[in-house]
C-alpha cells in the first residue's frame, strides 16, 4: 500500500466465535461504592449497623434492625474528570451524569404476640440499587511511538497463509470462515499488513518508522440490582437476613484507535459493542450485639450467575484510493455466561450512646474464581481463560471506615473513607490475549491501581420523614494499553506497548429523601 493512503475504518465488528477474556469478566462483575446519601457519606461502612435500605445489599441482616416501615429514594449527580498522560502528552475528558442510585420500600412487622425472647419481628423489603456505573470518556494521544497497531496485526496474524484471508472458491467470504481472525482479514484485505514466507506477516510500515497514535473510548451503562429481602430480630441482639437478587446489566462501548505514519498515510479504526445481561444471586447475613454499644456483622454473597447477550455490527470503511472497503456485510449476536466472584464481608461498629458512632468493614472478593462459559453451560471453550484467571487477578480487598456525629437529635454530620485494593496481579505482563479465531476489534484493556473514596455527608431527621446529603469522590488510577505486542524480556513474555496513565475522578453529589410509614 502506498504511504499516502489514509485508511479510515469505522467498524462495529462481530464474529462467529466468542471473544471474551479475563478482562471482560472483571469489568462486568466489579462494583462501585454506591447507595443512599447516608451510606455514601459514611464510606459504605454499614455492614454492622443496618437501618439503611441500601446497606441491605451488603448485609441483609440490616433489614432486621428496622422498627418502622419506610420508603426512600436517592438521586446521584456525577461530575467526572478523566485525564491521561501518554508518553508525556496530556488529554482530558469531562462528563456529567444524573442517575437514580437507589429506591427502597421496607415493611416492618412486629411479632403477632408479645414476646420477650425468640423472633421479635420480621421485616420485608424491595430494593433497587445501582451497583456499577460504566459511564466514562477516555482519550489519549502520544507524540510518537516506535510500535504500531499494524505491528500488532502482523504478529496476531502469524500462522495464517494469505490464501486463508483471501476471497477464493473455497472461502467465498474470508470473514465467514470460523477459523479466521477478523482482525487479520481486516488488516490484510485493507492493506495494513503484508504476507511473508512461512505463514508470517509484516506491517506495511518501513523498518523503524514511527507513528503518532491516539485512542478514544466512550462507555455507558450500569449494573442494577433488584432485591427481595427478609430480616428477623431475635432477642433484640441478633439480627439475621436473606436477600434474593436479580441483576440487570447494560454496557455499551464506542472505541477508536488511529495512527498517522511518519512517511505519510495512517488509519482510524472505530468499534462499537453492546452487552446486556441478567444475573441472579443470594445474600445471607447476621448482626450480633454483644453489648448495647458494640455491633458485629458478617455476610456472604453467592456468585452472580449471568446470562449475557453481545451485539455488534459493521458500519463504514473508506480510504482515499479504495472506494469500497472489504468488511463483513452484516453483524451478529451471541450469548455466553459469566459466573461472578464469591464475596464475604466482616464488620464492626461502636455506638457512643446517642451522640455518634464509628464503623469499619472489610470486604473479600474472589476474583480468581470468576468463570466464563457458553450459553449451554459448557466451559471448555474458555478453558484457557478460566485457568488463567488466577494469573491475571488476585483476591479483591476493600476496607471501609465511617463515622457519624449528632449535633442534635435531628441533625448529624458524617465522614468516611474506603480503599479498594488493586485486583490485578502485578507480575502478569501478557495483557489481553484475544482468541486467534475471534474478530474482537476492542483490543484495549486496563490494569487498575488502588481505588480510593473520600466522603462527607449530613442528615436531618424529623417526625415522619428524613433527608440526607453526601459528597463522595472516587479516585482511580489505571494503565490503559491500546493493544499488545508480546516480546520476551528477562525471560518473561511481556507486552512492550507503552501504556497511557489514566486518572479518573468521579465527584458525586447525592441526596436521599425518605418517608416513615
Compare 45 and 314 and report the one with higher pLDDT: 45
In a domain, 189, yes or no: no
Q: Is the pLDDT of residue 375 over 90?
A: no
Domain range for 117: 6-148+205-516
| Residue 25 · residue 251 · CB < 8 Å | no
Which three-class secondary structure state does DSSP give residue 504?
A: strand
Q: What is the CATH number of the domain that holds 487?
A: 2.40.160.60
> Residues 395-434: pLDDT tens digits?
999 999 999 999 999 999 999 999 999 999 999 999 988 8
> Residues 271-304: pLDDT tens digits?
888 999 999 999 999 999 999 999 999 999 999 9
> Residues 158-185: pLDDT tens digits?
999 998 888 877 778 888 888 888 888 8
In a domain, 165, yes or no: no
For residue 286, the model assigns a pLDDT of 98
In a domain, 182, yes or no: no
pLDDT band at 14 (very low <50, low <70, confident <90, very high): very low
Angle 151-152-153 (CA atoms, 0-180°, nearest 5)? Answer: 90
What is the DSSP secondary structure assignment for residue 146, as one 8-state letter?
S
Mean pLDDT of 460-487: 96
How far apart CA 44 and CA 400 sit, in angstroms, is 6
Give the H/E segment covering residue 296. strand 294-301
User: Which residue has 451503562 as its cell numbers?
Assistant: 221
- Which pTM was predicted? 0.92
| Residue 200 · residue 32 · CB < 8 Å | no
In a domain, 190, yes or no: no
Number of neighbours of residue 517 by Cβ within 10 angstroms: 12
| CB neighbour list of residue 198: distance below 8 Å, 6 or more residues apart | none
Mean pLDDT of 67-89: 97
In a domain, 183, yes or no: no
Domains contained in the chain, number: 1
> Residues 121-147: pLDDT tens digits?
899 999 999 999 999 999 999 999 999
In a domain, 507, yes or no: yes
In a domain, 195, yes or no: no
In a domain, 140, yes or no: yes
Amino acid at each position: 500500500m502506498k504511504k499516502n493512503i489514509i485508511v479510515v475504518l469505522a467498524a462495529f465488528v462481530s464474529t462467529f466465535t466468542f471473544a471474551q477474556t479475563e478482562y471482560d469478566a472483571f469489568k462486568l462483575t466489579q462494583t462501585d461504592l454506591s447507595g443512599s446519601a447516608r451510606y455514601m457519606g459514611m464510606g459504605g461502612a454499614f455492614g454492622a449497623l443496618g437501618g439503611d435500605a441500601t446497606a441491605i445489599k451488603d448485609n441483609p441482616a440490616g433489614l432486621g434492625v428496622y422498627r418502622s416501615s419506610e420508603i426512600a429514594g436517592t438521586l446521584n449527580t456525577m461530575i467526572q474528570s478523566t485525564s491521561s498522560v501518554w508518553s508525556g502528552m496530556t488529554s482530558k475528558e469531562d462528563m456529567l451524569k444524573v442517575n437514580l442510585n437507589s429506591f427502597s420500600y421496607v415493611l416492618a412487622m412486629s411479632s403477632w404476640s408479645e414476646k420477650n425472647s425468640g423472633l421479635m419481628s420480621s421485616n420485608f423489603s424491595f430494593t433497587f440499587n445501582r451497583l456499577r456505573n460504566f459511564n466514562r470518556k477516555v482519550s489519549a494521544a502520544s507524540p510518537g511511538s516506535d510500535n504500531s497497531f499494524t505491528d500488532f496485526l502482523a504478529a496476531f496474524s502469524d500462522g495464517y497463509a494469505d490464501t486463508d484471508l483471501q476471497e477464493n472458491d473455497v472461502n467465498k467470504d474470508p470473514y465467514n470462515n470460523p477459523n479466521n481472525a477478523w482482525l487479520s482479514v481486516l488488516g490484510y484485505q485493507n492493506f495494513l499488513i503484508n504476507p511473508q514466507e512461512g505463514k508470517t506477516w509484516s506491517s506495511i510500515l518501513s523498518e523503524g518508522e514511527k507513528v503518532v497514535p491516539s485512542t478514544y473510548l466512550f462507555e455507558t451503562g450500569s449494573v442494577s440490582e433488584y432485591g427481595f429481602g427478609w430480616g428477623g430480630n431475635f432477642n433484640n441482639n441478633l439480627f439475621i437476613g436473606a436477600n434474593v437478587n436479580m441483576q440487570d446489566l447494560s454496557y455499551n462501548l464506542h472505541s477508536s484507535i488511529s495512527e498517522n505514519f511518519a512517511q505519510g498515510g495512517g488509519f482510524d479504526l472505530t468499534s462499537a459493542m453492546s452487552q446486556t445481561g441478567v444475573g441472579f444471586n443470594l445474600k445471607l447475613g447476621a448482626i450480633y450485639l454483644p453489648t448495647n454499644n458494640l455491633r458485629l456483622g458478617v455476610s456472604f454473597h453467592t456468585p452472580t450467575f449471568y446470562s449475557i447477550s453481545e451485539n455488534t455490527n459493521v458500519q463504514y470503511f473508506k480510504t482515499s484510493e479504495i472506494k469500497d472497503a472489504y468488511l463483513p456485510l452484516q453483524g451478529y449476536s451471541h450469548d455466553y455466561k459469566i459466573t461472578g466472584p464469591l464475596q464475604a464481608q466482616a464488620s464492626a461498629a461502636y455506638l457512643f450512646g446517642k451522640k455518634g458512632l464509628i464503623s469499619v468493614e472489610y470486604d473479600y472478593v474472589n476474583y480468581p474464581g470468576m468463570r466464563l462459559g457458553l450459553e449451554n453451560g459448557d466451559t471448555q471453550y474458555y478453558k484457557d481463560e478460566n485457568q488463567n484467571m488466577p494469573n491475571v487477578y488476585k483476591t479483591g480487598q476493600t476496607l471501609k471506615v465511617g463515622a457519624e456525629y449528632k449535633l442534635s437529635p435531628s441533625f448529624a454530620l458524617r465522614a468516611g473513607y474506603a480503599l479498594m485494593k488493586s485486583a490485578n496481579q502485578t507480575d502478569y505482563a501478557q495483557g489481553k490475549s484475544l482468541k486467534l479465531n475471534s474478530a474482537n476489534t476492542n483490543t484495549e484493556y486496563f490494569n487498575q491501581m488502588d481505588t480510593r473514596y473520600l466522603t462527607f455527608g449530613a442528615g436531618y431527621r424529623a417526625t415522619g420523614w428524613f433527608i440526607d446529603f453526601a459528597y463522595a469522590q472516587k479516585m482511580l488510577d489505571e494503565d490503559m494499553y491500546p493493544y499488545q505486542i508480546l516480546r520476551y524480556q528477562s525471560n518473561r513474555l511481556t507486552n512492550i506497548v507503552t501504556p497511557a496513565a489514566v486518572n479518573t475522578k468521579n465527584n458525586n453529589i447525592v441526596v436521599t429523601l425518605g418517608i416513615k410509614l
